[in-house]
């Protein structure tokens, strides 16, 4: 009863329909920036940023408000949740991220799994094309068209052929060859940690930085949780192997 508080009612943000344009009329305006949900997410993020910057007082604690004092409750886990987390990170507000992640729906995780599938079956054309366009490799649509159009055999065979005379493709091939080598002896956690923290062809820096540059800071939540899942899987399987002689008797 002694805690101070207030309720603010903000004006309703109406949905807006993007202006119709013919396919050949190029417009670099991001349609998502005009969406009502994104406008609201940006407004919330800017408001919280202002609280922290101006050291808005928290009367119940007799001190300025801190990020740990703020809890955002949503009616349901929807696209708006991702937009809000992204907006908070863009303005520099510390945020713990989503309380629940479906790993197999995260783009960064799907790209990492595409790399694992490549190691198992390089001749899978669709998966290999996905990997080549991932943040780790960074080929463009034009690069992929050049490799795939008119090829004889698998995309992987065509890639190796062009890599003989192309410096950029040769560096990618060396990277993929190394990935295939370490997959022979590294368990899941160590394998993916090496991919994430060591240099990749896309930028010559870490895979982590490549994902952030393409997908934004919020991709790191999914990547770290994926590593946790790999570590848990690895640990549980080691335990099972150690105790297998006992429960097989």
Measured distance CA(150)–CA(158) in Å, rounded: 10
The answer to whether the CB of 8 falls within 8 A of the CB of 53 is: no
- Domain identity same for 116 and 204: yes
Measured distance CA(79)–CA(77) in Å, rounded: 7
Q: What is the pLDDT of residue 110?
A: 94
Work out the average pLDDT over 227-235. 87
DSSP class of residue 19 equals P
Q: What is the pLDDT of residue 134?
A: 94
- Domain identity same for 206 and 222: yes
Q: Which of 32, 64, 95 is the last residue of a domain?
A: 95
Work out the average pLDDT over 216-223. 84
CA dihedral 89, 95, 99, 102 (to 10 degrees): 20
Q: Which of 43, 70, 95 is the last residue of a domain?
A: 95
Which residue has tokens 């998966």? 127
The answer to whether the CB of 128 falls within 8 A of the CB of 159 is: yes
- Domain identity same for 75 and 163: no
Measured distance CA(142)–CA(168) in Å, rounded: 14
Q: What is the pLDDT of residue 246?
A: 42
- Domain identity same for 72 and 126: no
Confidence (pTM): 0.65
Domain that holds residue 3: 1-95
The answer to whether the CB of 218 falls within 8 A of the CB of 106 is: no
> Mind listing the pLDDT tens digit for each residue in 75-86?
877 778 878 888
* Of 172 and 57, the one with more pLDDT: 172
Determine, yes or no, domain membership for 198: yes
Determine, yes or no, domain membership for 245: no
- Domain identity same for 82 and 149: no
Six token digits for residue 93: 């507000």
- Domain identity same for 4 and 77: yes
Q: How many domains does the chain have?
A: 2
pLDDT at position 164 over 90: yes
Q: Residue 132: pLDDT band by 50, 70, 90 thresholds?
A: very high
- Domain identity same for 80 and 162: no
Work out the average pLDDT over 153-178. 93
- 128-156 burial, b at 16+ Cβ within 10 Å, e below that, comes to bbbbbbbbbbbbeeebbebbeeebeeebb
- Domain identity same for 39 and 108: no
pLDDT at position 162 over 50: yes
Helix, strand, coil percentages in the chain from 3-state DSSP, rounded to 5: 60, 0, 40
Q: Residue 161: pLDDT band by 50, 70, 90 thresholds?
A: very high
Measured distance CA(229)–CA(238) in Å, rounded: 14
Measured distance CA(202)–CA(209) in Å, rounded: 10
Q: What is the pLDDT of residue 31?
A: 45
- Domain identity same for 109 and 77: no
* Three-state DSSP state, 41: helix
Other C-beta atoms closer than 10 Å to the C-beta of 112 total 26
Q: Which of 95, 118, 133 is the last residue of a domain?
A: 95
Q: Of all residues in the chain, what percent carry a pLDDT higher than 90?
A: 37
- Domain identity same for 146 and 73: no
> Mind listing the pLDDT tens digit for each residue in 10-61?
888 877 665 655 555 544 444 455 578 888 889 989 999 998 889 888 887 8
């Amino acid at each position: 009863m002694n805690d101070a508080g207030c309720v603010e009612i903000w004006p309703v943000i109406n949905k807006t329909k993007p202006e119709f344009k013919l396919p050949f009329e190029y417009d670099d305006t991001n349609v998502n920036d005009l969406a009502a949900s994104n406008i609201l997410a940006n407004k919330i993020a800017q408001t919280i940023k202002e609280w922290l910057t101006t050291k808005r007082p928290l009367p119940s604690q007799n001190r300025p408000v801190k990020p740990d004092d703020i809890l955002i409750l949503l009616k349901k886990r929807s696209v708006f949740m991702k937009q809000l987390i992204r907006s908070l990170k863009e303005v520099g507000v510390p945020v713990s991220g989503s309380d629940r992640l479906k790993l197999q729906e995260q783009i960064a995780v799907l790209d990492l799994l595409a790399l694992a599938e490549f190691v198992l079956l390089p001749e899978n054309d669709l998966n290999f094309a996905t990997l080549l366009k991932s943040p780790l490799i960074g080929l463009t649509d034009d690069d992929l068209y050049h490799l795939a159009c008119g090829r004889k055999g698998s995309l992987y065979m065509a890639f190796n052929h062009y890599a003989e005379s192309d410096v950029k493709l040769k560096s990618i091939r060396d990277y993929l060859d190394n990935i295939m080598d370490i997959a022979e002896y590294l368990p899941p956690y160590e394998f993916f940690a090496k991919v994430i923290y060591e240099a990749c062809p896309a930028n010559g820096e870490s895979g982590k930085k490549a994902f952030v540059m393409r997908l934004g800071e919020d991709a790191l939540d999914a990547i770290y949780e994926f590593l946790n899942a790999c570590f848990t899987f690895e640990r549980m399987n080691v335990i099972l192997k150690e105790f297998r002689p006992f429960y097989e008797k």
